[in-house]
Structure 1
Amino acid sequence: MLSRANSCSSKASVAFIMNSSENAVDNAPDASEGPGSSNAKAKTTGRSPARKSRECKVEGCENYIINKGLCFRHGGGKKCSTEGCTSSAKNAWLCWRHGGWVKCHMEGCKRRGKSRGLCWSHGGGTQCSLADCSKVAVSNSRCWAHGGGKRCVFEGCNKAAYERNQNYCSQHIAKRQRDHKAE
């Protein structure tokens, strides 16, 4: 029976488990590569590999499809119902330009809602990830007060900065511009 264990092909069999020979481990195929496993090697037929059923049909694109076999980037998804408009619909089959936005729910506010029916000023958008903070996150899931957004690159300054100002705060970009004019 032990001689037969060496020729046994399944690692899950009792004969394989009972056999302590290292040769049996090297010669036996991996049980996870059986015909019903996800690790089974695909048969090569000379054709290109089969495309995953949920991937965009555009060559080289691996994004998931929304509809018509296309991802959002390549035209999948709802289109604006306004004649001649090719933009994606956001709400009520309309794009942002043609009224597919939700008005802020705060009384008297006429701005467009960002999320949860509120504009940016009234708390629309992603909330800060720190506990007990109800402010809107700017970046990295944090508000300005808790380290979200960029900071001024001027040494010792920790004020908010913007890329349009070469990552300086409003005070230091003004100083920098004055210094450049003086030169």
Structure 2
Amino acid sequence: GCPKGSQGRNLCIAHGGGKRCKVENCPKSAQSHGLCKGHGGGARCTFANCNKSSQGGGFCRKHGGGKRCDVPKCKNSAQRGNFCAKHGGSKACQADNCARTDRGGGYCELHRHYKVLRLTKKLQDEMAAM
């Protein structure tokens, strides 16, 4: 079974529990006023004329909300381990000589095809060995 807490009908949010956003075809959970954060639910940034979602402290990331990088004088948002991507808070792309951020699967957007090519080559080698 799922270890997450029940949000109604003995189900967690991921498995259908809790209230859903009232915007048609939106599967996200409602935060306030029947809306998910993306459609205007939840706390909003208090900076003048900004309607983005609050990330903590009453502000969106652009206006100072959310956790910041622990490197002195760095104002970037923290990613992993209390550091921004520039200061080691994200994984790097596995492609040779690439300093871009891993966007999933070990590679950046430019090098994602490497993983597919490697898997295809591996499959071809296995088929040839049969």
Q: Spell out, residue by residue over 1:31-77, the C-alpha distance to the aligned partner (whole angstroms, 9 max, x if none).
A: xxxxxxxxxxxxxxxxxxxxxxxxxxxxx333322232111111222
Give 1:142's match in structure 2, choosing from 83, 88, 105: 83
Which one of 98, 101, 113 corresponds to residue 161 of structure 1? 101
1:121 aligns with 2:65: no
Gaps of 5+ in 2: 103-107, 113-130
Q: Which structure ranks higher in relative contact order (CA pairs < 8 Å, sequence separation ≥ 6)? A: 2
Identity %: 34
**TM-score when scaled to structure 1?**
0.43
CA contact (8 A) 1:144 1:160 kept: no
Aligned to 1:88: 29
CA contact (8 A) 1:80 1:86 kept: yes
| Distance of 2:18 and 2:70 partners within structure 1 | 31
Q: Counterparts of 1:98 and 1:87 in 2: how far apart (Å)?
A: 10
SS of 1:137's equivalent in the other structure is coil
* Partner AA of 1:166 in structure 2: H
Moved over 6 A (4+): none
In the alignment, is the contact (CA less than 8 A) between 2:40 and 2:53 conserved in 1? no
More helix by percentage: 1
How far off its partner does 1:121 sit?
A: 1.9
| Structure-2 separation of matches of 1:120 and 1:95 | 18
CA distance in 1, matches of 2:96, 2:25: 49
Equivalent AA in structure 2 for residue 112 of structure 1: K
Q: TM-score, normalised by structure 2?
A: 0.56
CA pair 87-138 structure 1, distance change in 2 beyond 3 A: closer
Question: What SS class does the counterpart of residue 75 from structure 1 fall into?
Answer: coil
Q: Which amino acid aligns with 1:147?
A: G
2:39 and 2:79 map into 1 onto residues whose CA distance is 27
Alpha-carbon separation, structure 2, partners of 1:166 and 1:84 = 33
Q: Counterparts of 1:123 and 1:165 in 2: how far apart (Å)?
A: 30
**Unaligned runs of at least 5 residues, structure 1:** 1-59, 168-183
